[in-house]
Amino acid sequence: MLLERLSPTDYRNAGIAIQTAIAETPDNAVFVWPRQRKPEQALFRVRFVPGAAPGCRRYVVSVTKDGWLTTALPMEKCGTRAPPAAARLNPRAAF
């Protein structure tokens, strides 16, 4: 199982990916973290999907590590707003 392979650094990077995506990534973009990673580290892709309640953002996280890929069920974060489309200039967001 992929989650059993995640290191403490991977879990820390997952938190960074989700928090940064929610704060800085527009609904129509994908956030990838870490941008430059070592081969033994997991790669996290956070994308936003429709269907969230008003005032909430629904997102899906995909994790790649050691040749394995898994996608979590959608999650929601309420009380946050999507950044404006101009935030697409964020160099850490992948398009």
Q: How many CB atoms lie within 10 A of CB 65?
A: 20
Query: CB neighbours of 7 closer than 8 A, spacing ≥ 6?
Result: 40, 41, 42
Composition of the chain by helix, strand, coil, percent to 5? 25, 35, 40
Instruction: Tell me the per-residue pLDDT of 51-72, one tens digit each, with 9 for 90 and over.
Output: 888 889 999 999 999 999 999 9
Q: What is the pLDDT along the chain (95 residues), one digit of tens a residue?
A: 777 889 999 999 999 999 999 999 999 999 999 999 899 999 999 999 998 888 899 999 999 999 999 999 999 999 988 888 654 444 454 43
pLDDT at 78: 93
Q: DSSP assignment, residue 52? A: P
Single out the residue of 41, 42, 39, 43 nearest to residue 30, CA to CA. 43
